[in-house]
Structure 1
C-alpha cells in the first residue's frame, strides 16, 4: 500500500530541563569509563554506519557514557545517533515496522533498563529541491570528486511524498543525517507519551 501524507523530521528535544547528554558510542571492551584519558583511549564506533540504511552485524558490545548525567529520555541522540528505550522498540513492533528499522542493544552508563541504537534500514531519494529553502551540491571545483552531484547542504528540507511509497521511517538519499517518520509514526509516538522526541514537518 502506498502511503502519501505528511512526513516529519524526528530529532532530539534539547530544551528539556535537566536532560541527559549522551556521548559517542564506544566499544565496551576498549577501555574503562574513568577519566577523560580513559575515554579517549577507548575505540570510537563508526557512527556513520548508522546512516547508510544497512542491516549491521555488531560483534562487540557498545557502551554509552553521559556527560553530564541527567534525566533519561526514551528518545535522544548520542552525537547524532538515535538512542531509544525498550518502549520505543515495543511500539515499533506493534506498528509492524520490523523491516524498516534495526534496534541494536547498547549499554548506557548508570542504566539497568534496555536501550538500543535505532538504525533505519531505508534510504529514499525523495528531497524536493524546488520546495526546500536552499540546496547546494558538491561541484568539481570543490576538489571532492567522490561527492560531485551529491548534496552539500540542504536548508528548509522538504520531501516529495509521491516518491516515498509505503515507508514509515527512513533517511533521505543525499542528506542522510536526517531521520524522517510518517505522520502515522509521529501520532503513535505522541500517543504513547514517549519522552525526548521532537517533530518538524518536512
Structure 2
C-alpha cells in the first residue's frame, strides 16, 4: 500500500450503487452476495494486483491463479468483482478461517475492552493490538487466515508470502508476526 501514485479503490457497492457491508468479509465464512460487486476508483493511478478497499483484499486474476496452484481453494473464496476502468477480471479474497492465535505476551501492546468503556457486548475482547505476534503452534497448517479477536489483520504463511514474491505480485507488503 506504499506505492506512490497508486490507485485507491473506494467502498464496494452493489448493482444499485448501495454500499456493501465490508465487515462480512472478515468473518471467516462462505458468502453468497448477489453480484456484481463494484469498486469505484479515486484517484486513479498505478494499478496494483493486490490492493485493499476498506480492509478487503481485492486481487487481479493472476493472484487467483497463483492461489489455485497453491491449493488454497478450501481456505479462501474468490468473489468476482468489477473495478471501475478495468476490463480484466478482479476478485475479492474472502478468507474462510479465523484462528485464535494471538500471543498477547509477545505483542507490543494489547488493549481489551473494559467495563468503563461501556461496551458490554465487547467486554474482554481485543480493543487494539499493536505489534501483532502470533503463536505458531496454534496456526497448524493454515496458509491464509484472520486472527480471532483482531479481524482487521490478514495473515499468510511463509509459503504463500514466498510464492507471491516469486510471482512478482504488485501491491503486497508483508510484516512478520
TM-score by length of 2: 0.98
Asked whether 1:18 is paired with 2:13, we answer no
**Equivalent residues, number:** 177
Shift of 1:161: 0.0
Q: Which runs of 4+ in 1 moved over 4 A?
A: none
Match of 2:64?
Answer: 89
Structure 1: distance between partners of 2:82 and 2:73: 22
Structure 1: distance between partners of 2:127 and 2:5: 34
Structure 1: distance between partners of 2:30 and 2:124: 26
Structure 2: distance between partners of 1:20 and 1:80: 15
Structure 1: distance between partners of 2:54 and 2:100: 24
Match of 1:118?
Answer: 93
> Which structure: larger Rg?
1
Of 84, 100, 111, the match for 1:109: 84
Match of 2:103?
Answer: 128
Structure 1: distance between partners of 2:173 and 2:82: 24
Shift of 1:141: 1.8
Match of 1:9?
Answer: none
Asked whether 1:169 is paired with 2:144, we answer yes
Structure 2: distance between partners of 1:103 and 1:43: 21
Relative contact order (C-alpha < 8 Å, sep 6+): which is higher? 1
Structure 1: distance between partners of 2:52 and 2:3: 13
Structure 1: distance between partners of 2:86 and 2:99: 35
Considering only aligned residues, what root-mean-square deviation do their CA atoms show, in Å? 0.8
Q: Secondary structure at the match of 2:175?
A: strand
Of 24, 28, 34, the match for 1:49: 24
Structure 1: distance between partners of 2:39 and 2:10: 6
Asked whether 1:141 is paired with 2:113, we answer no
Q: Secondary structure at the match of 1:17?
A: coil
Q: Secondary structure at the match of 2:23?
A: helix
Shift of 1:194: 0.5
For structure 2, the 5+ residue unaligned runs are: none
Q: Secondary structure at the match of 1:105?
A: strand
TM-score by length of 1: 0.86
**Please, which moves more after superposition, 182-191 or 15-24?**
15-24
